[in-house]
Amino acid sequence: MAKALTNVTIYDFVRFIEKGYVVFDEEIQEVGKMEDFFDKGYEIEDKSGSIIIPGLVCGHTHIYSAFARGWPNETAIENFTDILEQQWWRLDAALEEEAIHLSGIVSASDHVKNGITTIIDHHASGEIEGSLKRLKKAVCDDIGLRGMFCFETSDRFDVEKAIRENKDFLAEEKNGSFAAHFGLHASLSLSEKTLKKVKAALGDAPIHIHAAESALDQEDCEEKYGERVLERLERHGLLNEGSILVHALHINEKEADIIKRNNCLVALNPSSNMNNAVGIPDYKLFKRKGIPVIIGNDGLSMSITNELQTLMYATHVKHEDFNAFGLDDVWAIIKTAYDYASRRLGVKLGRIEEGHKADLLVIPYTPPTPMDEENALGHLFFGLFSSFRPQDVYVGGKGIVKDHEIHTEAKKLYARAKRSAQKIWENTKERGG
Ligand SMILES: [Zn+2]
């Protein structure tokens, strides 16, 4: 039986209906004003006092960081290389079977509670073979979200195995709930030999790579190869259309042109950049060059609404210009992610319109000021985005979150995470820093 949510405000960043209804099963069947609603025997829920928007897309995260929360790292951190070596590379190396699965459960559960229904992940773990399928099982099958996965190939790992894992997962038959990238860590951790092997295996798959996250990535590249990071990736023929370049913080004009002419995207993660003390992204540069931008959280949080706010405020400060980033930029970023996810997954996402997948967020909201299609995004951004907790979340019409709580199966699995994390922490201690 199709479901109908009634007496609700509907807003998909394009259309605004104040007192409306939406009928859906896996896909949205009908949307309209209450005066046109006709009950054809639907399962009806009155959602007065709520607003419905489409589920959000997180453009870059690390599911493995789920087990970093509260991690007692006792070694001194002086620069970005230390952050990688002393923290992330010790933690991800300790992840195996059960931990990979449970990190997926934790991350997907927390993301969906924050309104994210599609996750683009960048994965690394000590166990390589089959790790992406494990993640996909956790995120897409057990929790019920959509996801894109890849393994961070780098010289830290058995390169052949990492390449094979990406290839195998790219070849998996897709069903609208998941897709794949070819994952690469970053220029500084990839030798010439490795990049040649990647090129030989890549075909037309888009890559997903950290590019110029810190000045160290550029210094390393210029010192070893006498060129900039984007020049190096282009020289190796790796910049396939739809590739995701994460951060692109320390790039110059020429590199921005390289990103543009290869039809790649940039995924920004401003909170992570500030936390790692590597800089603030130059949004104005991407906009001026017409480079599509999406937003992620880099695994630092499990949300993106706060990232959109951070990006706005940080961009204002960086350029000392209130007009350097506005609500039209917020919408451009959200829309770019919807369009990209729709293309990669082969389904229609991002609109509350007939024929689109029913990935929906129901958020209780009583506007304290007039709200209409002109200012609805302002209401969301300033009224809801800083503590964004949808009451109900649907993905493909299935109720994943109800009254802020994840479904029972997910809760049971989530409860096992703490013990698994404890084991990982003990292992990383033994390995030493
Ligand atoms: Zn990252």
419, part of any domain: no
Per-residue burial over 99-136, b if 16 or more Cβ lie within 10 Å, else e, is bbbbbbbbbbbbbbbbbbbbbbbbbbbbbbeebbbbbb
17, part of any domain: yes
Residue type, 160: E
pLDDT in tens, 382-409: 999 999 999 999 999 999 999 999 999 9
What is the sign of the dihedral through the CA atoms of 424, 105, 167 and 205? negative
Distance between CA 51 and CA 361 in Å, rounded? 8
Note whether 42 and 168 are same-domain residues: no
115, part of any domain: yes
Note whether 341 and 383 are same-domain residues: no
284, part of any domain: yes
Distance between CA 74 and CA 71 in Å, rounded? 9
Note whether 222 and 259 are same-domain residues: yes
182, part of any domain: yes
Note whether 39 and 100 are same-domain residues: no
How many angstroms separate the alpha carbon of residue 299 from the centre of ligand 1? 7
How many angstroms separate the alpha carbon of residue 61 from the centre of ligand 1? 6
How many angstroms separate the alpha carbon of residue 153 from the centre of ligand 1? 13
Note whether 49 and 93 are same-domain residues: no
Starting from the edge strand earliest in sequence, which strands make up the sheet with 244-247, in order?
182-186, 207-211, 244-247, 265-268, 293-295
Range of the domain at 221: 56-345
Note whether 38 and 184 are same-domain residues: no
CA dist list (Å): 301 to 211, 220, 269: 20, 29, 10
Label residue 206 by pLDDT band (50, 70, 90).
very high
Note whether 76 and 197 are same-domain residues: yes
**Residues whose Cβ atom is located within 5 A of ion ligand 1:** 298
How many angstroms separate the alpha carbon of residue 173 from the centre of ligand 1? 26
pLDDT at 84 over 90: no
93, part of any domain: yes
Tally of CB atoms within 10 A around 176: 15
How many domains in the chain?
A: 2
* CATH code of the domain in which 219 resides: 3.20.20.140
* CATH code of the domain in which 29 resides: 2.30.40.10
8 A C-beta contact, residue 49 and residue 368: no
134, part of any domain: yes
pLDDT in tens, 312-361: 999 999 999 999 999 999 999 999 999 999 999 999 999 999 999 999 99
Q: What is the pTM of this model?
A: 0.95
Note whether 51 and 78 are same-domain residues: no
How many angstroms separate the alpha carbon of residue 273 from the centre of ligand 1? 10
Check residue 118 and report its DSSP letter.
E
How many angstroms separate the alpha carbon of residue 232 from the centre of ligand 1? 19
How many angstroms separate the alpha carbon of residue 122 from the centre of ligand 1? 7
pLDDT at 430 over 70: no
How many angstroms separate the alpha carbon of residue 345 from the centre of ligand 1? 21
30, part of any domain: yes
Note whether 96 and 222 are same-domain residues: yes
Please name every residue paired with 266 in a beta bridge, in sequence order, or none if there are none: 245, 293
How many angstroms separate the alpha carbon of residue 52 from the centre of ligand 1? 30
